[in-house]
Amino acid sequence: MNKFAENLQGKLNNLLNHTLLQGLTLEGWRFNLHTTNLLEVGLKNNKLGGPYTAPSLKTETAGEIYLLWSGHRFTIAQIDRNVLEEFEINLELWQKTAYEDQWGAGLVEPYEPPLIPLAQEEAVTIVNGEFDWAFSLLEEGRRGLVDCDCRKVDGGVRIIYDQQLTANSAGLWIAYDQTPVEFYLQGDDLFSDYFAEKRLPTKEEHSRLINYTGETTKQLKKPTPFSTRSEMFVIFPPKVFEAFLEHFLLSNLSGNLIANRQSAFNIEDFTEKKQIFRTDFTVRVDGTRPYRYNSFRCTKEGVPSSQVELIQAGRLNTPLLDLKYARKLDLEPTPIPVGGGRGLLVSVPGIKTLEEVIQELDDGLIIYSLLGLHTQDYSSGKFSLKADQCLLVKNGEIRGKVEALIVGNFLEGLKADDSIFARATQEENPAFCMKVHVS
């Protein structure tokens, strides 16, 4: 890819400070490119492969180019492998699609990027042709869930060898490899869990995923009567909590939405460091940890990966800011989290374990699956959802599977003193327990 990128760099540099036919002068450029080789193997209805989950190998080179023209004009375009062959045609199009933006972003100055290991050699070997590992992983998963009395097992594994490059006309040139690996298992259409990191799962992680999926599926097969129509506590296990964080918090922390008055928060809430949430609630982005799914060297604009607290002890610290909105709001740009809700790391000091919280719960639900989260109004924080896979907890004991409709306000839940955070085994983010209307 480097040769390809060097050619593109050369062509763009030749145009710098030249006025082109349509009267625009190129003042700067930035592009990012990634070449991905992806191996995917699926398991459907206990069977490997098949027409819907056939093992697949996908190869693609794609990226984005950003051009800075005279007169505050800018171009954004997706680019692919053909960009050099069709450079003149593209250049004409890029000029036509240039738009004026007083707040258009500039370029990141060159810097030495943090050396975060994100690519695992073993994963690359599998994508390059040693496919057996992926098949074995799924087969072991299938056998493990069958041993847990699952009649129908579905699953999938994706391994990507991804070569990334971000470059600009100021001299920035950051090239690195990464190997995102995702693996999931589902039992009897009831419950699924996944592993996602930038490395292969260890044997222990694999076994834990099988056991957790199998045991939870077992519990969800035992229905119990339920006719509550009241306010009660519900527990969102970490992955469900992350889905809420993504839908309601990530959206509302977007600098773009805040600057344009489309978020639940105002820019003053950040500049005044307003206390919005509980004093023990901190949310940060940290893309610097080796081999983590949400780690990266730099954003597509070249902003370096780092640790940034978005919410600090309940106070709004900074929105998520790309270069444009950092400039517009006169704040520092931030790294942009990768992996949706998983990219937001919640820390709450001194919390109990999930098992302890369950034991202390008189009456509540543990919610494993929700229908309709993506349909909710992110800006209001309100939700009204079908929880189709839940376990009823009475007097600290799990009684069995129930279904419910839950109604509440997630942003208010994060403020409430009676909400509880709980540490869950092997999960990065805590579980979250809040009071909602249940019917």
50-89 positions binding other proteins, by CB under 8 A: 50-62, 75-78, 80-82
**Beta carbon of residue 113, minimum distance to other proteins (angstroms, whole number):** 26
| Residues in contact with other proteins, shown as a per-residue x/- string from 182 to 221 under the rule CB under 8 A | -------x--------------------------------
Closest C-alpha to 401, from 417, 413, 411, 388: 388
**Beta carbon of residue 346, minimum distance to other proteins (angstroms, whole number):** 22
Cβ closest to other proteins, residue 48 vs residue 398: 48
Q: Is 175 in the site for other proteins (CB under 8 A)?
A: no
**Cα–Cα distance measured from residue 106 to residue 108, given in angstroms and rounded to the nearest whole number:** 7
Q: Considering only the stretches 258-266, 281-289, 299-307, 352-360, report the one whose residues sit in contact with other proteins under the rule CB under 8 A.
A: 258-266
Cβ closest to other proteins, residue 17 vs residue 260: 260
For 107, the 3-state DSSP assignment is coil
Q: Is 3 in the site for other proteins (CB under 8 A)?
A: no
- Looking at residues 230 to 249 of the shown chain, list those that interact with other proteins (rule: CB under 8 A): 230-231
Among 120, 168, 216, 263, binds other proteins (CB under 8 A): 263
**Cα–Cα distance measured from residue 105 to residue 297, given in angstroms and rounded to the nearest whole number:** 20
Among 388, 401, 419, 432, binds other proteins (CB under 8 A): 388
Cβ closest to other proteins, residue 124 vs residue 407: 407
Q: How far apart are the first and last CA of the chain?
A: 56
Closest C-alpha to 311, from 262, 342, 274, 350: 274
- Looking at residues 322 to 381 of the shown chain, list those that interact with other proteins (rule: CB under 8 A): 369, 371-372, 374-380
Number of residues binding to other proteins, judged by CB under 8 A: 71
Q: Is 115 in the site for other proteins (CB under 8 A)?
A: no
Q: Considering only the stretches 107-115, 124-132, 161-169, 413-421, report the one whose residues sit in contact with other proteins under the rule CB under 8 A.
A: 124-132
**Cα–Cα distance measured from residue 67 to residue 103, given in angstroms and rounded to the nearest whole number:** 14
Angle at 425 between CA 419 and CA 427, to 5 degrees: 75
**Cα–Cα distance measured from residue 326 to residue 25, given in angstroms and rounded to the nearest whole number:** 25
Cβ closest to other proteins, residue 39 vs residue 354: 39
Among 6, 122, 139, 149, binds other proteins (CB under 8 A): 139
- Looking at residues 396 to 425 of the shown chain, list those that interact with other proteins (rule: CB under 8 A): 403, 405-407
Phi–psi pair at 137, nearest 5 degrees: -55, -45
Cβ closest to other proteins, residue 98 vs residue 420: 98
Q: Answer positive or negative: Cα dihedral of 336, 340, 341, 342.
A: negative
Helix axes 203-219, 132-147, angle to 10 degrees: 30
Half-sphere exposure (CA, 13 Å, Cβ side) for 378? 18
Q: Tell me whether residue 54 is exposed, middle or buried, using C-beta atoms within 10 angstroms of its C-beta: 0 to 12, 13 to 18, 19 or more.
A: exposed
Angle at 20 between CA 16 and CA 24, to 5 degrees: 85
Q: Is 44 in the site for other proteins (CB under 8 A)?
A: yes
Q: Is 133 in the site for other proteins (CB under 8 A)?
A: no
- Looking at residues 271 to 290 of the shown chain, list those that interact with other proteins (rule: CB under 8 A): none
Closest C-alpha to 379, from 253, 267, 271: 253
Count Cβ atoms below 10 Å from residue 21 Cβ, excluding itself. Answer: 8
Cβ closest to other proteins, residue 104 vs residue 343: 104
**Beta carbon of residue 385, minimum distance to other proteins (angstroms, whole number):** 6
Cβ closest to other proteins, residue 115 vs residue 371: 371
**Beta carbon of residue 229, minimum distance to other proteins (angstroms, whole number):** 5
Among 4, 87, 131, 212, binds other proteins (CB under 8 A): 131
For residue 249, give both structure tokens.
Answer: 């918090």
Q: Which residues pair with 159 in a beta bridge?
A: 39, 181
Q: Is 227 in the site for other proteins (CB under 8 A)?
A: no
94: left (phi over 0), alpha (psi -120 to 50) or beta: alpha
**Beta carbon of residue 389, minimum distance to other proteins (angstroms, whole number):** 9
